[in-house]
């Protein structure tokens, strides 16, 4: 089985199944097509599948023309999981969110495997790319794959290989970001080398799926903790009358031993605020606490209160209350230059200020209309920025520092700018660093 | 006064006084001499001054020949602080330790300034390089300098410019490490540009001495917190049966957004375990806690218990108790390839194991005899390593991973190796990762 599958992969006859056609699955699909593999894409969302089959992208940084040209040749999308048997490799790129108790919700993984289970056959490899806690692959996937009598390592092969997509990063692509993978057995590892080595420049084997799972978590824990640290430092420096952004820029001139992270209004996106808590949950099984993760979570959440307080104080200095003030939030995506609003701290700020009675507007060059979100409701469209429109607001709150904003024009016309991104280096009467 | 001092600095007629002739002061002295300045070195330690005046170094990585050639031309050391008036610049490089309650002890700074005070004259610049909390320069130094009637910014000039020495780092020198500095006034900042710009390739002005003080603290807080984080991760990964060093190496293949820090047996040296608590102390004045710093301190201290437990368990597996076992500690300096034992975690491990009844020996190619230390007492000399000597110990504890150790020989002959540095990549029956 192993050699047959290796031959298929090496000769590019293998059909690659990619389950979950989003931020992770689509770039991977494009990369496999580019390398000459036939790709069968699976998703439960009929609308997405229709759009993709019509050659259209629904993600800003993935071009429709790339989807269309893959579609013309080697790519097909489907909602029909019974076609799972057609694929030689099944790569799972489904979401792993937290439930409302901030515990791992791996139901997208388990439901995917349950849907595919009837169609597993000898000679397939399954690779999980979703970020998750150590043990998911061997505790949750393996038993489900083996329950039909097929044996992992002999009939079927099982990998964990974390996605490392960084939307909007111009320096790296799916092909050039080294790919870590671990196999349940030595045979699995060998298949992993062939599968990923066929499309990615550098592959990095580790000794187990658990080591690979923890690798991805560590990457994002590192980030969450370092952002938590500078957010705490921001609050301390502010009280001492020191601009933390100036301090970080100065520290960044040290040519070794220091890497700058910058504070902001809170953590956003689908990774950094979520992934670390997968380890927190699993650690409890071993009677352990993940204290850095919990502290970072607490501070990165509470930093929005700091920004709200700074806004309240700035309005108060102008003899205004938040209640009744017109506040314009600049940037509502979770990071600059993208249209992704998942876990955006801007939305949290908007809600907190609205709750205090503010009349909220927003402007975002990447998001024309405030989208429907499960837990957030704003009936708003992006305000177009010009000297007159900006001057009308009692306060402008810079939440996401898109490159497309005209920062000089904003500063020159706003009554108050609350700068939560350290964008303004100089001191000015109407600029409040928050 | 300002222009006269600038002229003296620019024409290299200025005499540079350096107070505190240790790890920081000596390289700075050498750099000023190399650039053609006369340097008068001050220290309270008569023995050090004698050695230096005789052209000898007392620090392993600073060569005696460099001291001797500076001595022959432009350098002189003295214990006589009444000569302070001879210097146009007075650069303070004195220690800033913690007292036994882990509070800042800035007495070396204040005593230095008190000693120099009678000899301050118009046209001098004082620059503090010791790591300290924000506010030290303007709250502690400035009033002492002005009490004789001289005015800072007009008659005298005052800077804070943190040292960034990294002993043993082959890639950077005093000259090539960018130098951050802040001045109490604009005139002070201008003098700072001339003084440091004369000997250092890149100078980085910041808006205040407080910003410069916090810059240095942030650099070391970042390090302490990241080491704390991986030490916590080590303990969690260990319980999950995962090798944290393998995970960190794999994560380090990510070409953006991750920087590897490695766990160890605890924090050492004169900076990382100490400096962050300077901010902790100052923050209290503002009613604030530095929670990341405190958590890092707690974990970095407790990690030695983890190593002791691993040692106990490994001996127990061989049916031995710590009590009565012969344990050889490899490496007793605080980091590899240096002879510096300040705050070395190895010493803490030695004490804890001795307290449990172990018979402790050590081997360190950089430290022939266990030195006299204020708070630690061991009457030991370095054991020379060979297959026979190593095999005689019940357990070998790798605490500091000097390059000079023969790791294969150690592994091949030791009954047990407790590896607290992730030096051994492979698994082996006698290697315990701790």
Q: Specify if B144 maps to a domain.
A: yes
A201 and A262 in a common domain: no
Q: Parallel, antiparallel, or unpaired for β B431-433 and B417-419?
A: parallel
Q: How does the average pLDDT of chain A come out, rounded?
A: 96
Contact B172 A255 (CB under 8 A): yes
Q: Specify if A220 maps to a domain.
A: no
In the predicted model, what is the mean pLDDT of residues B139-167?
Answer: 95
Contact B292 A291 (CB under 8 A): no
Q: Which residues of A touch B424 (CB under 8 A)?
A: none
Q: Specify if B217 maps to a domain.
A: no
Instruction: Please determine, for residue A168, whether its predicted confidence score (pLDDT) is greater than 80.
Output: no
Total-model pTM? 0.95
Q: Specify if A52 maps to a domain.
A: yes
Q: How does the average pLDDT of chain B come out, rounded?
A: 96
Give the residue numbers spanning the domain of A97.
Answer: 2-206
Domain boundary among A206, A241, A275: A206
B203 and B235 in a common domain: no
How many structural domains comprise chain B? Answer: 2
B231 and B196 in a common domain: no
How high is the pLDDT of residue A375?
83
Contact B255 A178 (CB under 8 A): yes
Q: Specify if B218 maps to a domain.
A: no
Instruction: Please determine, for residue B170, whether its predicted confidence score (pLDDT) is greater than 90.
Output: no
Confidence of residue B426 (pLDDT cuts 50, 70, 90): confident
How high is the pLDDT of residue B268?
85
Domain boundary among B179, B207, B235: B207
- Domain with residue A243: its CATH number is 3.40.50.720
Among the partner residues B218, B223, B246, nearest to A233 by beta-carbon distance = B218
Q: How much is the ipTM here?
A: 0.94
In the predicted model, what is the mean pLDDT of residues A222-227?
Answer: 97
* Residue range A262-301, pLDDT digits in tens: 999 998 888 888 999 999 999 999 999 999 999 999 999 9
A202 and A233 in a common domain: no
How high is the pLDDT of residue B26?
97
Q: For an interface test with B, which of A181, A258, A422 has the most B Cβ atoms less than 10 Å from its Cβ?
A: A258
Q: Specify if B222 maps to a domain.
A: no
Chain A closest-CA separation from residue B224 CA (Å): 11
B379 and B308 in a common domain: yes
* Residue range B185-242, pLDDT digits in tens: 999 999 999 999 999 999 999 999 999 999 999 999 999 999 999 999 999 999 999 9
Confidence of residue B367 (pLDDT cuts 50, 70, 90): very high
- Looking at A93, A188, A271, A395, which residue is catalytic? A271
Among the partner residues B219, B232, B290, nearest to A258 by beta-carbon distance = B219
Contact A279 B247 (CB under 8 A): no
B232 and B199 in a common domain: no
B267 and B201 in a common domain: no
Domain boundary among B207, B241, B259: B207
* Residue range A313-331, pLDDT digits in tens: 999 999 999 999 999 999 9
Q: Specify if A112 maps to a domain.
A: yes
B118 and B152 in a common domain: yes
In the predicted model, what is the mean pLDDT of residues A205-214?
Answer: 98
B234 and B193 in a common domain: no
In the predicted model, what is the mean pLDDT of residues A370-399?
Answer: 95
A360 and A300 in a common domain: yes
Confidence of residue A311 (pLDDT cuts 50, 70, 90): very high
How high is the pLDDT of residue B168?
77
Contact A254 B208 (CB under 8 A): no
Instruction: Please determine, for residue A152, whether its predicted confidence score (pLDDT) is greater than 80.
Output: yes
A249 and A156 in a common domain: no
Indicate which residues of B carry an active-site annotation.
Answer: 271
B145 and B14 in a common domain: yes
Among the partner residues B229, B290, B299, nearest to A236 by beta-carbon distance = B290
In the predicted model, what is the mean pLDDT of residues A392-415?
Answer: 97
* Residue range A235-256, pLDDT digits in tens: 999 999 999 999 999 999 999 9
In the predicted model, what is the mean pLDDT of residues A299-317?
Answer: 96
In the predicted model, what is the mean pLDDT of residues B6-32?
Answer: 97
Chain B residue with CA closest to A214: the answer is B247
Q: Specify if A221 maps to a domain.
A: no
């Amino acid at each position: 089985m192993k050699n047959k599958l290796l031959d298929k992969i090496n000769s590019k006859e293998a059909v690659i199944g990619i389950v979950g056609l989003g931020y992770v699955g689509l770039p991977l699909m494009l990369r496999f097509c580019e390398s000459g593999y036939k790709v069968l894409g699976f998703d439960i969302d009929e609308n997405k599948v229709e759009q993709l089959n019509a050659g259209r992208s629904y993600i800003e940084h993935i071009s429709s023309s790339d989807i269309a040209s893959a579609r013309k040749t080697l790519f097909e999308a489907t909602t029909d999981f019974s076609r799972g048997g057609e694929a030689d490799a099944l790569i799972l790129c489904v979401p792993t969110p937290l439930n409302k108790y901030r515990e791992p919700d791996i139901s997208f993984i388990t439901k995917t495997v349950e849907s595919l289970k009837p169609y597993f056959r000898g000679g397939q490899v399954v690779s999980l790319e979703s970020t998750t806690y150590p043990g998911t692959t061997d505790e949750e996937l393996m038993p489900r794959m083996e329950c039909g009598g097929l044996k992992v390592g002999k009939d079927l092969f099982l990998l964990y290989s974390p996605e490392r997509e960084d939307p909007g990063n111009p320096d790296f692509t799916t092909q050039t970001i080294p790919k870590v993978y671990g196999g349940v057995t030595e045979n699995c590892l060998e298949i992993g080398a062939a599968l990923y080595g066929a499309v990615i420049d550098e592959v990095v084997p580790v000794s187990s799926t658990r080591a690979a799972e923890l690798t991805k978590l560590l990457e994002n824990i590192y980030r969450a903790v370092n952002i938590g640290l500078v957010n705490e430092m921001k609050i301390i420096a502010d009280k001492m009358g020191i601009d933390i952004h100036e301090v970080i820029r100065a520290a960044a001139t040290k040519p070794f031993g220091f890497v700058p992270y910058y504070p902001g209004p809170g953590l956003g996106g689908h990774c950094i605020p979520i992934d670390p808590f997968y380890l927190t949950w699993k650690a409890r099984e071993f009677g352990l606490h993940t204290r850095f993760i919990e502290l970072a979570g607490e501070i990165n959440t509470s930093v929005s209160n700091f920004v709200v307080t700074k806004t309240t104080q700035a309005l108060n200095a102008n003899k205004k209350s938040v209640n009744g003030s017109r506040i314009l939030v600049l940037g509502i995506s979770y990071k600059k230059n993208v249209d992704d609003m998942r876990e955006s701290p801007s939305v949290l700020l908007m809600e907190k200020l609205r709750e205090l009675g503010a009349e909220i507007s927003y402007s975002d060059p990447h998001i024309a209309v405030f989208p429907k979100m499960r837990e957030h409701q704003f009936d708003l469209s992006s305000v177009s920025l010009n000297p007159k429109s900006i001057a009308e607001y009692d306060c402008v709150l810079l939440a996401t520092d898109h490159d497309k904003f005209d920062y000089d024009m904003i500063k020159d016309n706003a009554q108050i700018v609350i700068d939560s991104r350290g964008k303004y280096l100089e001191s000015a009467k109407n600029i409040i660093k928050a």
